[in-house]
Each structure stands twice: as C-alpha cells, then as structure tokens.
Amino acid sequence: MEIISTLFQILFAAIFIYLTFSGGYFFIFSIAGLFYKDPRGKGVKQHHMAVMIPGYKEDSVIIDVAKDALRQDYPQQCYDVIVIADSFTESTLSKLRELPIKVLEVSFENSTKSKSINKAFEQLPENYDLVVILDADNQMERTYLSQVNRQFDGKTKIVQTHRIAKNLNNNLAILDAISEEMNNHAFRKGHRVLGLSAALIGSGMAFEYKFFKDHMAKIKAIGGFDKELELKFTSEGEQISYLNSALVFDEKVQKSQVFTGQRRRWLSAQFLYFARSIGPAFLALLTKGNIDYFNKSIQMALMPRVLLIGLTFILALLSLLLNILPVPEWIMMWMYPGILFWQALFAMVVVAVIAAIPRKFYNFKTLQAVLSLPKGFLLMARSLISIGGANKKFIHTQHGQTN
C-alpha cells in the first residue's frame, strides 16, 4: 500500500506542478490585461493594402463576406479585396467575378491556408504596402482598415487585431466567444502590457507586405501556420503588436463535431510547435536574452483553458472530499501536496477567468452556457485524446453564419 501511495503522490505532484504552471501563467497575464491601453497610431500615410481572404469550399459565406469587405471607410482606391478561391463552385466564382474584387483560383492535392496565401503572392503585383489576412467568414468593422493603417508608421511590421464573435446563437457559440475573449485579454492585452508579443490568431492580422511575403515563403505548415509565424517572428526579434479597437467579426462554432475538429487541429499544432521550438528558444534565451521567443515557446505547452478550469475544479473537489470522508489515511495521502494547495490553485484560476471575461458576458445567457461547461470539457478532452495525426492533414472548419 505504501508503494501505491507513493506512486500516486508522485503522479498528483506532477499534475499539480503542470496545472500550477498553466494556471499561474494565465493568472499573471489576466491581471496584467486589466491595465491595457491601445497604442496610439502615428501613421499618416494612406497605405495601399491587399485584403486577402483565402477560402476552401466556402461557397455559403464568401459572397456576402466579399461584398461586406468593400464597405470600409478607407479610400477604395487604396485597397483591393482578394478572394483566394480553393475548390469553389463555378456558380460562386461567377458571382464573385461580378464584384469589384480580385479572384484568384488555386487548387492543390492537399490544401492548406499557407499554400493558398503563397500562391496568391506569386500572382499579385508588388505595389502593396500592407496585407491584411482574413478568414472566409470574417467581416471587418467599418473603420477597420483606417485604424490598421494608422498603426504602420515605419516601425511596426505586425499587428494582430481584435477578433470578436459574430454569433452568440447557442451555448457552444457563447462558450467559444468567451474563450476567444479570454485569450484576447491574457495573450494579447496582458502580453503587450508586460512588453511581450501578442499571440497571432490566424486571421484579423496585418503585416508589411514584403516582410510578410518573404516570411510566408518559408512556411509549410499544414495546420497552425500562425503558430509557426509567431515563433519565427519572435526568434528574429520582431514584436507583434495588438490593436483591440479594430474589430473583425468571426463565426463561432455551433456544432459539437466542428468544435472537436477545430480544437483537435489547434491542440495538435500547439504541442507540435512546442516540441520543435523549446530547445532553440531556451538556447536563444541563454545566449541572446530573447525572452519573447522563449515565452512564445512555453506558451505552446499550456493546458487549454476549458481543461484547466475543469481539472482544477475536479481535483479541488476530490481533495476536499478525501479530507472530510472516512477514508483510509494512505488514500488521503494521494492528493499531494494537500487540500489547501488544490483549493488555492482552483481559486487562482477562477480569479484569472473573472479578470479575463468582458463584462458584457455577465448575463443570464452566459449562465446558461456555463451550465454546459461539462460538455465543453468532455469535447476538449476528446480533442486532446485524438490529436494524433491531426498535423498531417488539413482539417476544414465549415462556416455558415454571415449576419
């Protein structure tokens, strides 16, 4: 029994260390995010922009999205909307060509977003100053390009903007929207407050055109090209800025199978890039003092928020029950390092979550959605278990919400 008890103590100690690392990291940046202020844009030049919208079989949303992208308050002669059409129907292509946009058809045996963007660069002229990357379901707030334009003053090369929920029509969509806002708060606002690079999301991103084109040419990612980009940027000493006021509306998942597939792709990319980058990042920290790169690498190893909340709650509850129920002492010893530590860990995670959730989500609909958290926890656990091979093939997230 003593051997079994010791093994369980080691197991729970390892779990506690990992959860404390994930929870403590989230806590620090959630608190820091409370002090965020948007950078004041100093750029005065009206840059010529390429608004790229790569899409794979997005016939149901792309026409409305393309039309909406033309309604910016930015001068129309200063930007082009470029739809990169992979596997669209002829009917959709015909309707797109009727719009004052550029339509670039691409086709691959194995499609990826990075391939589509690189193919577009091969066909586009070099007369652009900036490039904005959107997803095929994204819609920009009317002043978006004007706000982005002001951020590029000759020093800034990369700006991640604020991706926000387009739809809150069921519990899963609400939880997805809250999750993204928590990430915006901790991994973008909080990071910028502490002088570190914001995290890229994969869309709602703006770059200096030639700078991005040169870096994208080296990207071969099947999934998680944004992760590969932010590691490459920070390894070179480039900082990623964040603009909270520039809004891009993004469709939140509404079906369990879509949620599982999307998270499976994200988790696979996250752990893959952690394994690839931790060695070089640690070396760069020691030899060059590159904290930003090292931070990006260890960020890939963090436990997803839904799993973090669920596991810390379960383990805090279990430690409490073992303490009050009449169980043998050797079983009580399993929950190393002790009940107070597990309770404190859960409390820290709760405080971080409260700090990171925008006040607009404190309503009855959110309460209803929170009651479905166990389902979200199980879906995330399922995604984690099934991540094997997810980085070897393209997993498409189907969209359908445009309003």
Q: What is the pLDDT of residues 180-199, one digit of tens each?
A: 999 999 999 999 999 999 99
What is the b/e burial string over 133-167, where b = at least 16 CB atoms within 10 angstroms of the residue's CB? bbbbbbbbbeebbbbbbbbbeeebbbbbbbbbbbb
Cα 25 to Cα 17: distance, rounded to the nearest angstrom: 12
- From first CA to last CA, the distance across the chain in angstroms is 61
The answer as to whether 402 is a domain residue is no
Cα 395 to Cα 57: distance, rounded to the nearest angstrom: 12
Are 170 and 133 members of one domain? yes
The answer as to whether 399 is a domain residue is no
- When pLDDT is cut at 50, 70 and 90, the band that residue 26 belongs to is very high
Cα 251 to Cα 269: distance, rounded to the nearest angstrom: 21
Are 245 and 278 members of one domain? no
What pLDDT score does 330 carry? 61
Are 24 and 63 members of one domain? no
What pLDDT score does 384 carry? 57
Are 154 and 215 members of one domain? yes
The answer as to whether 237 is a domain residue is yes
CATH number for the domain that contains residue 180: 3.90.550.10
The answer as to whether 202 is a domain residue is yes
CB proximity list for 278: less than 8 A, separation 6 or greater: 297, 298, 301
> Tokens in use for 125?
């002229």
Cα 268 to Cα 300: distance, rounded to the nearest angstrom: 10
Among the ranges given (13-22, 168-177, 240-249, 261-270), the one the predictor scored with the smallest mean pLDDT: 261-270
Are 235 and 319 members of one domain? no
Cα 38 to Cα 32: distance, rounded to the nearest angstrom: 14
Are 29 and 173 members of one domain? no
Does residue 402 surpass a pLDDT of 80? no
Which of 202, 222, 254 corresponds to the end of one domain? 254
Among the ranges given (47-61, 68-82, 91-105, 261-275), the one the predictor scored with the smallest mean pLDDT: 261-275
> Tokens in use for 83?
């739809």
The answer as to whether 398 is a domain residue is no
46 class by beta-carbon count within 10 Å (0-12 exposed, 13-18 middle, 19+ buried): middle
Cα 312 to Cα 302: distance, rounded to the nearest angstrom: 14
State pLDDT tens for residues 33-69.
999 999 988 878 999 999 999 999 999 999 999 999 9
Structural domains in the chain (count): 2
Does residue 129 surpass a pLDDT of 60? yes
Domain containing 18: what range?
2-35+273-391
Sign of CA dihedral 31, 252, 119, 142: negative
Does residue 258 surpass a pLDDT of 70? no
The answer as to whether 401 is a domain residue is no
Are 114 and 249 members of one domain? yes
What's the mean pLDDT in 84-97? 95
Are 246 and 331 members of one domain? no
